[in-house]
Homo-oligomer: A and B are copies of this chain.
Amino acid sequence: MSDGDEDWVLSADMLRDYQDPGTPPGTLRPAEGESGPSRIIVTSYGADDSSVQETSDPASLDRLGDDGRVHWIHVIGLADVKVIEQLGASFLLHPLALEDVMTLGQRPKAEDYEDSLFAIFQYLSVTATRLRKTQIALFLGKDFVITFQPGGPDLLAPVRERIVKGRGRLRTKGACYLAYAVVDLVIDSTFPALEELGKELDDVEDAILENPDREDVERLQAVRRELLLLRQVLWAQREVVGRLAREEHDLMPDDVRIYYRDCYDHAVQAMEVSENFREMASGLLDIYLSSLSHRLNEVMRVLTIISTVFMPLSFLAGVYGMNFDTRHPLNMPELGWRYGYVSFWVVAIGMVSVMLWQFRRRGWI
């Protein structure tokens, strides 16, 4: 998906990775394109201390107890169905939610289960003007947060770093604030992505204003498609964060809700920017088309001027190239005139002058 020369496959980008109709809900299977074992990074912290450990055995997580500390389990890699199932069993996660975790390309959403909140987001990045979505799934419980991402570099490392370094309010405000930190990171990932697309739009605009070319339209169309994809994610994401910021929930104390409201503002802003980009892109297409139209006018004007000047002249030359028998006095007496040829040029230059004057009067030249 990151190769520029690769063929664009619309349906693959737009359609999520769906299961065959008729599959029982809650059926787990390895996520599309994932392989290898999962990494499990467990971060536990209280106000005063924190610990990070990495494991690949979910069984060890059962021992995470009701010790008043917050536990954050981050799973990287979604190929290992057993790990996911065991986590689900330990923390009483709903099978439908687990199915969503394993199905990449999901629409961002939030579900409210009995004693946990479940949400799906898309971490956005742009490589070579192609938008890349990385699905982040999140469970929030009373004293734990569980997050999932597909295999690759750990996207949530900055949050863990803040915990370890004890920066900000992270250590003192409980699991809900931790969840906010994750959501905030993911929402804010939109801005660099938007910046990339904005730069590409700027480039295309410069190219179109400079010298509109067919290739520019294709680049423009590519950006428009990415913006379509982006909008789909941003709308849903805005809605999800809006719900978290608005709805009353036991797991969401009021002083943390304020942070979600801030995050909601960012989501709205991202959406507005993407809408503006879409409008600008369609404005660029207008410019491109009007440039083509303008250039055609210019070309046709040149052609018409040339034709209008030289067709009558050629006709005139053709006339005096005729072979009428000049022995009859009425047949082309001009040919025998002393100043015939000179007169021809005088007439020709006069005609051209009149035409050029006409063209100038009409603003054609």
Q: Which residues of A103-147 have CB atoms within 8 Å of chain B's CB atoms?
A: 106-107, 109, 111, 113
Report the minimal beta-carbon distance from A158 to chain B, rounded to whole angstroms. 3
Given contacts A11-B199, A170-B24, contact A323 B302 (CB under 8 A): no
Q: Which residue on B lies nearest to A94, using beta carbons?
A: B258
Q: Which residues of A138-193 have CB atoms within 8 Å of chain B's CB atoms?
A: 158-159, 162, 167-170, 181, 184-186, 188-189, 191-192
Whether A225 is near chain B, meaning CB under 8 Å from some CB there, is yes
Q: Which residues of A263-321 have CB atoms within 8 Å of chain B's CB atoms?
A: 265-266, 268-269, 272-273, 276-277, 279-280, 283, 285-297, 299-304, 306-308, 310-315, 317-321
Candidate in A8, A280, A307, A322 with the most chain B CB atoms within 10 angstroms:
A322
User: Judging by beta carbons under 8 Å apart, are A328 and B324 in contact?
Assistant: no
> In the complex, which residues of chain B have a beta carbon less than 8 angstroms from the beta carbon of A336?
325, 328
Binary contact track A209-242/B, C-beta < 8 Å → 1, others 0: 1010010011001001100110010000000000
Q: How many copies does the complex hold?
A: 5
Selected contact of A107 from candidates B10, B261, B265, CB within 8 Å: B265
Separation of A42 and B202 alpha carbons in the complex (Å): 44
User: Judging by beta carbons under 8 Å apart, are A10 and B195 in contact?
Assistant: no
Chain A interface (Cβ < 8 Å from any Cβ of B): 8-11, 14-16, 18-27, 94, 96, 100, 106-107, 109, 111, 113, 158-159, 162, 167-170, 181, 184-186, 188-189, 191-192, 194-195, 198-199, 201-202, 205, 209, 211, 214, 217-218, 221, 224-225, 228-229, 232, 258-259, 261-262, 265-266, 268-269, 272-273, 276-277, 279-280, 283, 285-297, 299-304, 306-308, 310-315, 317-326, 328, 330-332, 334-342, 344, 363-364
